[in-house]
Amino acid sequence: MTQIIDGKALAQKMQSKLAQKVQDLKDKEGIVPGLAVILVGEDPASHVYVRNKERSALQAGFKSEVVRVPDSISQAELIALIDNYNKDCSIHGILVQLPLPAHIDDNAIILAIDPQKDVDGFHPMNTGKLWSGQPVMLPCTPAGIMEMFREYEIDLEGKNTLIIGRSNIVGKPMAQLLLNQNATVTLTHSRTKHLPELARQADVLIVAIGKGHFVTKDFVKEGAVVIDVGMNRDDNGKLIGDVKYDDVAEVASYITPVPGGVGPMTITMLLEQTYQAALRSVSK
């Protein structure tokens, strides 16, 4: 029988423990983990994400600052705003919500963030540390997926794992985290030939391609673990994943739902990394 990997329940459990750790840090060191989120423009999905992040941060006892700026802001003005937070000792994590307006270079903004406060794990300094086997700040979605594997005691060693999607946010860092656990990793994408055939060989299938219901049970080996990172809307506006859930659940051993799967864990890892950054600031 297929087991559902309940990301929402795991996120609640981890955030409850995190709230206690935050209280202990405040009591012992007088430090409150501080998270600053910068939201540019009026993208509706970004506003929802940021609101959820802010609510979770406050519930866990964090100092939470959300700065909403118009999409007319210049790149130089945005970098100056980031620099203020780089210098602010009460802020341990900085996140600039993507996507950004076309006139702003994402890479320049990522580079402007102090790597020690880069809780998204996108700065080249942090991606380099990940790829050299010395991870500090990790992209939050792959980090959350690894926590799911731990919670459900899914052994990755020697397993054939296949990722569909090669983004810097999910696919590429996911590959390295799996390699760190001695999995055998295949990284595929929209132009990979014979993709269903390749996917059917995987013990663990992670789908992050951004196409609703792209993966059907024709892609999935009997008994495989299936992780769905997708967040799409169908024609009726309903939130769906990249995996056709009901279809794939017939053959998978474990599967994540959408919503309630990977999403809540992404926010949890953002908070966890902000806490860890605050902890590291104590020993400076």
What mean pLDDT is predicted for residues 230-245?
95
Binding residues for NADP(+) are: 165-167
Above 80 in pLDDT, residue 196? yes
Mark the binding-site residues, compressed into ranges.
Answer: 165-167
Among the listed residues 6, 120, 228, 242, the single catalytic one is 120
Residue 66 CA: distances (Å) to CA of 53, 167, 211: 10, 26, 30
Output the pTM of the full model: 0.96
53 has catalytic annotation: yes
Which tens digit of pLDDT belongs to each residue from 80-125? 999 999 999 999 999 999 989 999 999 999 999 999 999 999 999 9
Task: Tell me the chain's radius of gyration from C-alpha atoms.
Answer: 19
Which domains are assigned to the chain? 29-115 (3.40.50.10860), 140-263 (3.40.50.720)
Chain segment 136-163, per-residue pLDDT in tens: 999 999 999 999 999 999 999 999 999 9
pLDDT at 43 over 80: yes
- Residue appearing with tokens 């926590």: 147
Instruction: Identify the active-site residue in 53, 117, 172, 217.
Output: 53
According to the model, what pLDDT value does residue 32 have? 98
Structure tokens of 116? 């020690």
Provide the pLDDT for residue 132. Answer: 93
Kindly state the average pLDDT of the residues 214-218.
97
Known active-site residue 97: yes
Asked whether residue 284 carries a pLDDT value surpassing 80, the answer given is: no
Per the residue annotation, which of 97, 116, 176, 273 is the catalytic one? 97
Nearest alpha-carbon partner for 34 in 281, 283, 278, 284? 278
- Distance between CA atoms of residues 115 and 122, nearest Å: 9
| Region of poorest pLDDT, from 36-50, 94-108, 205-219 | 36-50
